[in-house]
Amino acid sequence: MADRIRIAIITATNSKTSTGSNNTVLNLLDNLDSDKYLISIVLFNDLIPDRLAIAEDELRQDPTYVAFAEIKNHSKVSNIYSLSSLSLKEIKNMFDFAIVAIYNEFGEDGKTLGLLELVDIPYLSPKLKSSVLAFDKSFTKAILASNGLLVPKSSEINKENQNEKLNQEILSRHSYPLIVKPTSNGASRGTTLVKSDAELQPAIEKAFAFSDEVILEEFIAGQEFSVGVIGPYNQPTALPVVMIKSKNEFFDYEAKYVSGKAEEICPAPISQELEAKLQQAAIKTYQALKAENHARIDFPGLLRSSIFPKELTQANISLAEFLDRSIVEKLKNK
């Protein structure tokens, strides 16, 4: 088939979120039309070539094996490459468009997007600057506050500069309960709801395992919502609101990724007035961070179970249609 758009789906297989990355790739493959697109998998690391030489019975002991095997054998996958084996010139000449399916470091933090910017390949994600800013919670909060959006009261502790006196001075500004979380990480990994002095230091150490800076933030009890936004920076559209009901004390990592730990209701059973307020705040956030194409204010997942595709469905937009629209628009504006 001539004139197909050459797409690179960039993923990682030995990251801490590789299961999610693999499942995202599978969902993308299910929704990309092979009559329109020539799809290659580009691996951010060299683990897959090693796996190809390992016996299948050994591979099955790896929890990411099933998804990887499906990717490797998928009828829509034309090639699998290791990123480290490709020169910048080869990347530029081999692909017309890229989709980054890496969570947290190297994906959401903008590192892979920087590489794509360097070789002038358009990509599905929000722009590099927006991704970098949104991945850092301190920068995000400062930008949102300067744009008139309400953010929780918070303080930061630096891993290198912390000491007991400084920590006590920071703690004097807050009262329990507190949210303790890494400054730069996603999916609520390393995040703890702290209710007492005894719980505080273990929570800080847990957060430091994911980031050199930790945020102590007032805990705001209440109903949690999610609002997706699509479109260009200057003409964004808010998607239907999702109400999130976590079975845990808050929408933590377990609630997000363990089946049955949270209920995501779309459309949210709320008044039109509240829906409008939430959508307006989402659009204001989207524009404050200069996002474009798509966002769920933090970072949208494209797993089958992710909130963003559910919001698209409720807006009568299939994921396949959204991908087609985004690819055409990004290539047109290249």
Secondary structure (H, E, C), the chain: CCCCEEEEEEECCCCCCHHHHHHHHHHHHHHCCCCCEEEEEEECCCHHHHHHCCCHHHHCCCCCHHHHHHHHCCCCEEEEEEHHHCCHHHHHHHCCEEEEECCCCCCCCCHHHHHHHHCCCCECCCCHHHHHHHHEHHHHHHHHHHCCCCCCCEEEEECCCCCHHHHHHHHCCCCCCEEEEECECCCCCCCEEECCHHHHHHHHHHHHCCCCEEEEEECCCCCEEECCEEECCCCCEECCCEEEEECCCCCCHHHHHCCCCEEEECCCCCCHHHHHHHHHHHHHHHHHCCCCEEECCCCCCCCCCCHHHHHHHHCCCCHHHHHHHHHHHHHHCC
Which range is least confidently modeled, 3-12, 60-69, 86-95, 189-198?
60-69
Q: What is residue 286's predicted lDDT score, i.e. its pLDDT?
A: 92
Is the pLDDT score of 39 beyond 90? yes
What does the pLDDT read at residue 298?
Answer: 40
pLDDT of 223 over the 80 cut: yes
Task: Count CB atoms within 10 A of the CB of residue 238.
Answer: 21
Query: Which of 143, 140, 110 has the alpha carbon at shortest distance from 127?
Result: 110
Banded model confidence at residue 61, pLDDT cuts 50, 70, 90: low
pLDDT score at 102: 83
Whether residue 218 has pLDDT greater than 70: yes
Whether 6 shows a pLDDT value over 80: the answer reads yes
Can you tell me the mean pLDDT for 99-120? 85
pLDDT band at 31 (very low <50, low <70, confident <90, very high): very high
173 pLDDT more than 60: yes
Q: What is the mean pLDDT of residues 164-172?
A: 71
pLDDT surpasses 70 at 170: yes
From the list 25, 17, 14, 6, the residue with the least C-alpha distance to 101 is 25
Residue 63 pLDDT > 60, yes or no?
A: no
Sign of CA dihedral 14, 54, 30, 1: positive
Res 1 pLDDT > 60: no
- What's the mean per-residue pLDDT of the chain? 83
The CA–CA distances, whole Å, from 73 to 15, 59, 68, 276, 282 equal 21, 15, 9, 45, 39
Q: Which residues pair with 265 in a beta bridge?
A: 243
Distance CA 32, CA 295 (A): 20
Q: Evaluate the omega torsion of the peptide bond into residue 267 and state whether it is cis, within 30 degrees of 0.
A: yes
pLDDT tens digit string along 74-86? 999 999 998 888 9
The residue ranking higher by pLDDT, 304 or 243, is: 243
Give pLDDT tens digits for 269-315.
999 999 999 999 999 999 999 888 888 664 344 556 678 888 898 89
Q: Would you say residue 52 has pLDDT above 60?
A: no
Pairing of strands 213-218, 154-158: antiparallel
pLDDT of 301:
46
Whole-angstrom Cα distance, residue 54 to residue 104?
28
Q: State mean pLDDT over 235-256.
A: 84
Using the predicted structure, report yes or no on whether residue 20 has a pLDDT greater than 80: no
Mean pLDDT for the stretch of residues 64-78: 80
Q: What's the rounded mean pLDDT across residues 115-142?
A: 89
Please enumerate in sequence order all residues whose Cβ is within 8 A of that of 60, keeping only pairs 6 or more positions apart, or say none: 66
- Which domains occur in the chain, in start order? 5-125 (3.40.50.20), 153-218 (3.30.1490.20), 224-332 (3.30.470.20)
> What pTM was estimated for this model as a whole?
0.79
Greatest C-alpha distance within the chain: 67
- Max avg pLDDT among 42-46, 184-188, 219-223, 279-283: 279-283
Name the pLDDT band for 126 (thresholds 50, 70, 90): confident
Q: What is the mean pLDDT of residues 317-328?
A: 93
The bridge status of strand 77-82 relative to strand 97-101 is unpaired
Q: Read off the pLDDT band of 53 (50, 70, 90).
A: very low
Q: Does residue 237 register a pLDDT over 90?
A: yes
Query: Mean pLDDT lowest for which of 46-60, 87-101, 274-288?
Result: 46-60
Q: What is the share, in percent, of the chain residues with pLDDT greater than 70?
A: 85
CA distances from 255 to 108, 182, 184, 264, 317 (A): 20, 18, 20, 11, 26
Is the separation of the CB atoms in 261 and 255 below 8 Å? yes
> For 112-119, what is the mean pLDDT?
92
